Structure 1
Amino acid sequence: GRVKDLINRGGEKISAGEVETLVQEMPQVVEVAAVATPDPEVGERVCLFVRLGAGCSLSLEDIATALTARGLAAFKIPERLIILEDLPHTAVGKPDKKILRSLLDEAPRQR
């Protein structure tokens, strides 16, 4: 559970919660979950699953610009974005990161 809320990118630990909190503040975002996506070069990278508000759009560039402006370190900037109509949830109502991780191979890469 909690161990997976830390993303290990090249030995640097990234708190999924920190990234989620900052992205959630973006007006286009209704709901967000950050998960680790495996990477052969750095171990793991940050992937965001996002549910957008009606009629909204969002790109990785938009996210990078917003997070950089908020002072987030460059190594914590998400490198993959998957937009879903609905995020799966656990019994207690939190985004189900186990299911989200299983979607990583199926989802097309969005930029």
Structure 2
Amino acid sequence: MTPEVLSHYPQIQELHVAEVVNYLQRNRWTAINYSNPRLLVFEKGVDDQGKPIQIVLPSQDEYEDRPYLLAKVVNLLSVLESVPFQEIVNAIHADVRAS
């Protein structure tokens, strides 16, 4: 499913940037310095071409593109971890409840 479609799902609308950041940190994604303060960038591993796999998040929940960027993140994590989209969302929420 495309991030455009996923961004309208209630599960994505209810996610917060801090929850996703917590999930990424717990799963050993590394925050990298990025020149645009409106974005948070994380890296982990490399792709088939040897380039770092990156996840880009808005730095605040208030940004208009938050649902789209979070949908992209959940979609990418779903592919990388070979699990359904909803399992990623559930894991992000489980991390919040465990904290």
Q: Same fold (TM over 0.5)?
A: no
Higher percent of residues as helix: 2
- With normalisation by structure 1, the TM-score equals 0.28
Higher percent of residues as strand: 1
- With normalisation by structure 2, the TM-score equals 0.30
